[in-house]
Amino acid sequence: MINSVNFKELIKKGYSLDIVYLLQHLDEIDEICQGNPKLETLKNTLIRKGLISEEFKITLEGKQLLQFVSSPQDKIAKIEKVKKLDEFDRWWAAYPSTDSFEYKNKTFIGSRALRGKKADCKAKLYSILNEGEYTIDELIGALETEVNLKKEASIKEKKNKLSYMQNSATYLNQRTYESFVDLYRSGIKTETKEYKGVDV
C-alpha cells in the first residue's frame, strides 16, 4: 500500500497511481488496455518515461519505482533516477573519434569522423542501459573488442578496417554492439584468435 509520503513524492515526480498500477500489472497490460484509448495512452507514457521498454519489459527505472512505492512509511524514500554519473562520458571517450589510428607501430590513415550526434547517442545509450540487459562496462568492452578486432584485421590484411566502423549513432541504433558483448562476456582475447561469424 502506498503511504502518504510516497504518494506526495510520486506526484512531485510526475507519476500517477494509474502508471503505478499498470507497472504492477505489466503481465496483463495488453488485456487491461485493450480497446481503451486513455489506457493505451498511459501504456505509451510508461514507455516514454522509460519505465518499460518498447517490448513491454520493465526497465531499471521501472523496477526502482516499484521498490519505491512498496517502501515502508518509516523510511522516507525518494524516487532516484538510474545512476548515470559519467557512464556516457566513459563510452564516448572509448569510441574512436576518427578512422585514423596507429597500432603495433603501423599508421593507418582514415578519411572520416566516427563520433557524431552526441546528444542523440547520449539519449540512446541511457535508453539501452535502462533496459537492464547490458552494463556500461559490457558496452565499453564490446566496443573495445570490435575496435581491437578491426585493428588486428588491419595489420593482417594491410588495409584500414576501422574505415568500416559505423558512426557512433548508427552503432547504437542498429545495436551493433550485441554480438561483441557476447565475445566480451566470453573473455576471448581479441589479439590472439580469429573469429568466425562476427563481421569486423
Give me the domain span that covers residue 166: 87-186
Q: Is residue 177 part of a domain?
A: yes
Q: How much is the pLDDT for 72?
A: 67
Residues 102 and 63 in one domain: no
pLDDT > 70? residue 193: no
Residues 158 and 100 in one domain: yes
Q: How much is the pLDDT for 47?
A: 83
Residue 6 vs residue 147, higher pLDDT: 147
Q: Are the C-beta atoms of 121 and 43 separated by less than 8 Å?
A: no
d(CA 50, CA 59): 7
pLDDT > 80? residue 16: yes
* φ/ψ of residue 52, rounded to 5: -135, 160
Q: Is residue 81 part of a domain?
A: no
Q: How much is the pLDDT for 1?
A: 64
Residue given cell 521501472 in the structure block = 62
Q: How much is the pLDDT for 117?
A: 94
Q: Are the C-beta atoms of 20 and 10 separated by less than 8 Å?
A: yes
pLDDT > 90? residue 146: yes
Residues 98 and 64 in one domain: no
Percent of the chain with pLDDT over 90: 41
Q: Is residue 21 part of a domain?
A: yes
pTM of the model: 0.63
Residues 96 and 39 in one domain: no
Domain count, the chain: 2
Residue given cell 503505478 in the structure block = 20
Q: How much is the pLDDT for 116?
A: 93
Residue 99: closest CA among 142, 157, 159: 159
d(CA 29, CA 83): 27
Note the pLDDT tens digit of each residue in 59-106.
888 888 888 887 765 554 555 554 555 789 989 999 999 999 999 999
d(CA 56, CA 42): 13
* φ/ψ of residue 19, rounded to 5: -65, -45
Note the pLDDT tens digit of each residue in 163-188.
999 999 999 999 999 999 988 988 86
Q: How much is the pLDDT for 197?
A: 47
pLDDT > 80? residue 6: no
